Amino acid sequence: MKRILVTGAGGQIGSWLVPALRSQYGDAKVLATDIRQVSPEMAEAGPFQVLDATDVRAVGQAVMRHRADTVFHLAAILSAVGERDPRLAWHVNMSSLEAVLEVAREQGCAVFTPSSIGVFGPGTPKNPTPQDTIMRPTTMYGITKVAGELLCDYYHHRFGVDTRGVRFPGLISYGQPPGGGTTDWAVEIYYRAVQHGRYRCFVGPDTQLDMMYMPDAVRAAIGVMEADPARLVHRNAFNVTAMQLTPEMMAAEIRKHIPGFIIEYEVDPVRQAIADSWPDRIDDSAARQEWDWEPAFDLERMTADMLKHLNQG
Ligand code: VAH
* Tens digit of each residue's pLDDT (9 = 90 or more) over 266-279: 999 999 999 999 99
| Average pLDDT of the segment spanning 113-137 | 98
Write out pLDDT tens, residues 22-43.
Answer: 999 999 999 999 999 999 999 9
> In angstroms, rounded to a whole number, what is the distance separating the alpha carbons of residues 129 and 152?
22
- Assess if residue 89 is contained within a domain: yes
Question: Is pLDDT above 90 for 177?
Answer: no
Overall number of domains in the chain: 2
- Assess if residue 284 is contained within a domain: no
* pLDDT at res. 313: 76
Residues 275 and 132 in one domain: no
Residues 85 and 218 in one domain: yes
| Average pLDDT of the segment spanning 224-241 | 96
Residues 189 and 127 in one domain: no
Residue 257: burial class (beta carbons within 10 Å; 0-12, 13-18, 19+): middle
Residues 229 and 114 in one domain: yes
* pLDDT at res. 5: 98
In this structure, the residue with its CA closest to atom 4 of ligand 1 is 181
| Average pLDDT of the segment spanning 202-219 | 98
* Ligand 1 atom, smallest distance to 178 CA: 2
Q: What is residue 232's three-state secondary structure?
A: coil
Tell me, yes or no, if the pTM score tops 0.85. yes
What lies within 8 Å, CB to CB, of 159 at 6+ separation is: 105
> In angstroms, rounded to a whole number, what is the distance separating the alpha carbons of residues 142 and 118?
5
* Ligand 1 atom, smallest distance to 209 CA: 6
Q: Longest Cα pair distance anywhere in the chain, in angstroms?
A: 58
* pLDDT at res. 179: 84
* pLDDT at res. 1: 58
Question: Is pLDDT above 80 for 113?
Answer: yes
Residues 145 and 251 in one domain: no
What lies within 8 Å, CB to CB, of 203 at 6+ separation is: 182, 185, 247, 265, 267, 268, 271, 272, 275
> What proportion of the chain, given as a percentage, has pLDDT over 70?
100
* pLDDT at res. 192: 97
In this structure, the residue with its CA closest to atom 2 of ligand 1 is 181
- Assess if residue 290 is contained within a domain: no
* pLDDT at res. 272: 97
| Average pLDDT of the segment spanning 111-121 | 98
| 116 touches ligand 1 (CB under 6 Å) | yes
Range of the domain at 153: 4-169+213-239
Question: Is pLDDT above 90 for 48?
Answer: yes
Confidence band for 178, pLDDT divided at 50, 70 and 90: confident
Average pLDDT of every residue of the chain: 97
Write out pLDDT tens, residues 60-88.
Answer: 999 999 999 999 999 999 999 999 999 99
Q: Is there a contact between 240 and 167 (Cβ–Cβ < 8 Å)?
A: yes
Residues 273 and 148 in one domain: no
Question: Is pLDDT above 70 for 133?
Answer: yes
To test the pocket of ligand 1, the residue of 79, 145, 245, 278 to mutate (highest count of ligand atoms within 8 Å of its CB) is 79
- Assess if residue 34 is contained within a domain: yes
Residues 155 and 85 in one domain: yes
- Assess if residue 258 is contained within a domain: yes
Residues 48 and 90 in one domain: yes
- Assess if residue 286 is contained within a domain: no
Residues 186 and 261 in one domain: yes
| 89 touches ligand 1 (CB under 6 Å) | no
* Ligand 1 atom, smallest distance to 80 CA: 9
| Average pLDDT of the segment spanning 255-273 | 97
| 241 touches ligand 1 (CB under 6 Å) | no
- Assess if residue 289 is contained within a domain: no
- Assess if residue 163 is contained within a domain: yes
Counts for the chain of helices (H) and strands (E), in that order: 12, 14
Q: Is there a contact between 181 and 82 (Cβ–Cβ < 8 Å)?
A: no
* pLDDT at res. 165: 98
Residues 177 and 199 in one domain: yes
| 140 touches ligand 1 (CB under 6 Å) | no
Residues 10 and 55 in one domain: yes
| 79 touches ligand 1 (CB under 6 Å) | yes
Q: Is there a contact between 263 and 208 (Cβ–Cβ < 8 Å)?
A: no
